[in-house]
Amino acid sequence: MRFRNKVVWITGASSGIGEALAYAFHREGAHLILTARRRDRLEAVRNACTGDGKILLLPFDVTDYDFHPTAVAASIEHFGQVDILINNAGISQRSLVLETDFSVDRRIMEVNYFSVISLTKTVLPYMIERGGGQIAVVSSLLGKFSTPRQSAYCASKHALHGYFDSLRSEVYDQGIRITLICPGFVRTEVSMHALRGDGQEHGVLDNRIARGMPADVCARHIVNALYKRKEEVYIARYEKIALYLKRFAPGLLSKLMRKIKLT
Ligand SMILES: NC(=O)c1ccc[n+]([C@@H]2O[C@H](COP(=O)([O-])OP(=O)(O)OC[C@H]3O[C@@H](n4cnc5c(N)ncnc54)[C@H](OP(=O)(O)O)[C@@H]3O)[C@@H](O)[C@H]2O)c1
C-alpha cells in the first residue's frame, strides 16, 4: 500500500503497460485516472481493478491538445489533486525512412512527444501549487539508441529525454520529480498498432514482442521506480546489452544495426 490515497493519472491505460500499471497502482492503494481512446477497454480495465481506490475514466485522444485543460480541470475537480502523471500512451512504427509518408513521421511525434509535453505543462502548475508531484514518461530503450524501421519512433523517444532532463532541473526546487522509464521488449499490443509507411496499422504481433517481458512484471518495476523517485530506469532483459554497446562500443552497435531484421 505504498501509494495509498495518491492520485495516479495513467495515459494509454486501455492495454499493455498502461493497463498493467492501473492494476498495480490500484493494488497499492492509489486512486486512478485512466485515459485512452477506447472507452470500452478502459471500462474493462476499471472492472478488473482489485484495490479500493476510486477510478475516474477520462477517455480522449492525447493529441486533442485543446481538450487538455478541460481534462486536467475535470481531474482536479474530481480528486482535488493529481500526485503522479504517467505519460504512457504511445504508438510505434514499422517502416523504412524512404517508405514513410511525412504525415506518419508527424503523427508519431504528435502522439509520443507533443501530447506528452502538452499534458505535462497543463498539469504542472497544479502540482507546483500543491508543493510537489511526480511526472513519469514511458520512453523506451529506443530513447537511448536507434534501430532501423523505427526512425520517427526512436526520434520521438530521444526527444523526450532531451525535454524532460531539462525540465527536471527547472522544477526540482518546486518538489517535482521526473522519472524517465525505458522498457525493452514487453509483451503488449504495441507492434499490432505500430504504423506502416502509409499510416496503416502493422497488425502483426512481432516475435520479439511476443517473447518480451510480461506487462505486469514491467509494471512492477515501474511502480518500484516511482516509489524510489528514480530519475531514469531501464526495464529489459538481454536487449539491455545494446545500451552498453552504445556507450562503450558505438561502432560495433552501428554494425549490428545494419544487419538487424525486425520481424
Ligand atoms: N511494448 C514494448 O515492447 C515497449 C517497449 C518500450 C516502450 N514502450 C512504450 O510503452 C508505452 C505503452 O505501449 P504498450 O507497449 O503498452 O502498447 P499498447 O498495448 O499498444 O498500448 C498503447 C496505449 O496507448 C494508447 N494510445 C495510443 N494512441 C493514443 C492516442 N492518440 N490517444 C490516447 N491514447 C492512445 C492506447 O489506447 P487506445 O488505442 O485505446 O487509445 C493504448 O492504451 C508506449 O509509449 C510505448 O512506446 C513499449
Find out whether 45 and 68 touch, Cβ atoms under 8 Å.
no
Task: Assess whether the C-beta atom of 49 lies below 6 angstroms from ligand 1.
Answer: no
Ligand 1 pocket test, pick from 10, 32, 37 with the greatest ligand atom count within 8 Å of Cβ, gives 37
Q: Which three cell numbers stand for residue 228?
A: 524510489
What's the CA-to-centroid distance between 67 and ligand 1, angstroms?
19
> Given this model, what pLDDT does residue 263 score?
52
The DSSP string of the chain is -TTTT-EEEEESTTSHHHHHHHHHHHHTT-EEEEE-S-HHHHHHHHHH--SSS-EEE----TT-GGGHHHHHHHHHHHHS---EEEE-----B---GGGS-HHHHHHHHIIIIIHHHHHHHHHHHHHHHHT-EEEEEE--GGGTS--TT-HHHHHHHHHHHHHHHHHHHHHGGGTEEEEEEEE-SEESSHHHH-B-TTS-B-----HHHHTSEEHHHHHHHHHHHHHTT-SEEEE-SGGGHHHHHHHH-HHHHHHHHHH----
Substitution site in 188, 213, 221, 235 for ligand 1 pocket (most atoms within 8 Å of beta carbon): 188
Cell matching residue 128:
507546483
User: From the CB of 41, is ligand 1 less than 6 Å away?
Assistant: yes
Q: Are 44 and 38 in contact (CB under 8 A)?
A: no
Taking the centre of ligand 1 as the mean of its atom positions, its distance from the CA of residue 92, in whole angstroms, is: 8
How distant, in Å, are the alpha carbons of 143, 150, 263 from that of 205?
A: 21, 16, 9
Q: For residues 136 and 158, what is the distance between their CA atoms, to the nearest angstrom?
A: 15
The residue ranking higher by pLDDT, 259 or 126, is: 126
In tens, the pLDDT along 181-233 reads 999 999 999 999 999 999 999 999 999 999 999 999 999 999 999 999 999 99
Domain boundaries, the chain: 7-259
pLDDT digits (tens, 9 = 90+) for 66-75: 999 999 999 9
The CATH architecture annotation of domain 7-259 reads: 3-Layer(aba) Sandwich (3.40)
All three cell numbers of 217 = 512484471
In this prediction, what percent of the chain has a pLDDT beyond 70? 99
Residue nearest ligand 1's atom 23 by CA: 12
Ligand 1 touching residue 63 (CB < 6 A) = yes
Q: What is the pTM of this model?
A: 0.98
Q: Please give the pLDDT value at position 221.
A: 98
Determine the pLDDT at residue 262: 57
Given a cut of 80, whether residue 261 has pLDDT beyond it is no
- Please tell me the predicted confidence (pLDDT) of residue 260: 80
pLDDT in tens, 9-32: 999 999 999 999 999 999 999 999
Average confidence (pLDDT) over 118-129: 98
Q: Is the pLDDT of residue 98 over 80?
A: yes
